Homo-oligomer: A and B are copies of this chain.
Amino acid sequence: MTPRSRPNDDELSDCPTPPRRPTIVDVARAAGVSTAVVSYTLNGRSGVSATTRERVLRVADELGWRPATAARSLRSGPAAAALVVVHDQPFGTRAAFPLDLVSGALQTLGPDTLTLALHVAESPAGAALLMDRWWTERRYAAFVVTGVRVDDARLAALRTLPAPTVVVGAAADGGPPTWRHVVLDDGEAFTQLGAFLADLGHRRIAMVAGSESLVAPVRRAAALEAALVRHGIQLRTVAGDGPERASAALRPLLSAADRPTAIVTDDDATAGLVLDVARRLGLGVPWDLSIVAGTDSPACYLTTPSLTAVPYPVEELGRATGWALRAVLGTATSRRAVGADPVGGVDPPSGAVPVGRLVVRGSTAPPAGD
């Protein structure tokens, strides 16, 4: 019943060596069938009688058989995708984004279907280089790109490979047919935010913009500006990329006679900074100044007062990314079909991921003179 471990195994030294993992050859021998039958069975394909299938599965289980990734990849191509995170600036508060995104993606990707690995690169160009290398080495079957830059070296590289790609948070279209876009409807959210501030009575509004090399912050600022214009308000924008630049810009802005009564930031950390600068200048929040963080996070309710913020549904973005990943691997010149059943909710991949309604906390109020 117990098969000999290997035919060409030397008899002497099998005690100290760790026992070889069983292969389908072992399973086939133990089950008294050929390897083809085992392969068919283990991949759930038709053409195997029920009794044989059951016996093979039982034997495989008893032997503790597990597929060897490398052998499988050699024939069928890799069954993994990668997200290469660009580690430009030291990670700020939003640094958990990639981890949360992957966490969300796992909810729509079964753990068996397709695995999503995270890697780190120093720059977009470095990330592009890695993806190029890993694609030609057939290490990954697809890639996920987040934090898209204005002229992004990664997208340029992926376009020429061309590898199945999921682009998160950039434009809703473009790229080869093997690309999918996951978009966040933050334009809509910032439009609503504009209306919210205008309705509160604010007329002098400023935005501390995020990095102007990043696509999403630019889009968000534009959406807010457009919304305010519809209320006859002109948005003042100051550069806010990094704490130094932000506080340098904030001090004169908040000291001036016609200082804004409301300030919107692109991220949560900068909103905290605004709060700090305001306090140093003796401005009461929210009475003298309203503050809105453009990206909600746990840090937003740690401050005094807590910060009104635009939600940032990273997990849902991740779920959508999972769907998109299955889509590109279905579409693409893919080397292996993705598994059947989705794991998480039954959401079919719809349009943009909705942001949801502004989270109003203590940092916003009507302007003082109202």
Question: Which A residues contact B (CB, under 8 angstroms)?
Answer: 18, 21, 64, 66-74, 78, 82, 85, 87, 90-93, 95-96, 98-100, 102-103, 106, 111, 115-120, 122, 130, 133-134, 136-139, 243, 269, 272-273, 276, 279-280, 298-299, 301-304, 333
Complex partner residue of A68 from B74, B96, B100, B298, CB under 8 angstroms = B74
- Per the bound structure, the CA–CA distance linking A134 and B117 in Å amounts to 13
Report chain B residues within 8 Å CB of A87: 99-100, 103
Q: Which residue of B lies closest to A83 (CB)?
A: B118
Report chain B residues within 8 Å CB of A117: 82, 117-119
Report chain B residues within 8 Å CB of A118: 99, 117-120
- Per the bound structure, the CA–CA distance linking A302 and B69 in Å amounts to 47
A304 adjacent to B333 (CB under 8 Å) = no
Report chain B residues within 8 Å CB of A98: 99
Complex partner residue of A66 from B74, B115, B116, B137, CB under 8 angstroms = B137
- Per the bound structure, the CA–CA distance linking A93 and B66 in Å amounts to 38
**Copies of this chain assembled into the complex:** 2
- Per the bound structure, the CA–CA distance linking A136 and B19 in Å amounts to 12
- Per the bound structure, the CA–CA distance linking A90 and B298 in Å amounts to 9
Report chain B residues within 8 Å CB of A72: 70
Q: Identify 19 residue pairs between A and B in the complex whose beta-carbon atoms are under 8 Å apart, listed by A's number.
A: A66-B133, A68-B137, A68-B138, A69-B78, A69-B137, A70-B70, A70-B73, A87-B103, A93-B93, A102-B120, A116-B119, A117-B119, A118-B119, A243-B301, A243-B302, A269-B298, A269-B302, A276-B303, A276-B304
B91 adjacent to A99 (CB under 8 Å) = yes
Q: Which residue of B lies closest to A118 (CB)?
A: B118
B69 adjacent to A299 (CB under 8 Å) = no
Complex partner residue of A95 from B78, B95, B111, B304, CB under 8 angstroms = B95
Q: Which residue of B lies closest to A243 (CB)?
A: B302
A120 adjacent to B103 (CB under 8 Å) = yes
A276 adjacent to B298 (CB under 8 Å) = no
- Per the bound structure, the CA–CA distance linking A84 and B74 in Å amounts to 25
Complex partner residue of A280 from B64, B138, B304, CB under 8 angstroms = B304
B91 adjacent to A136 (CB under 8 Å) = no
Least CB distance from A135 to B in Å reads 9
- Per the bound structure, the CA–CA distance linking A134 and B280 in Å amounts to 53
Report chain B residues within 8 Å CB of A269: 298-299, 302
Complex partner residue of A74 from B18, B74, B303, CB under 8 angstroms = B74
Least CB distance from A113 to B in Å reads 13
Report chain B residues within 8 Å CB of A93: 93, 298-299
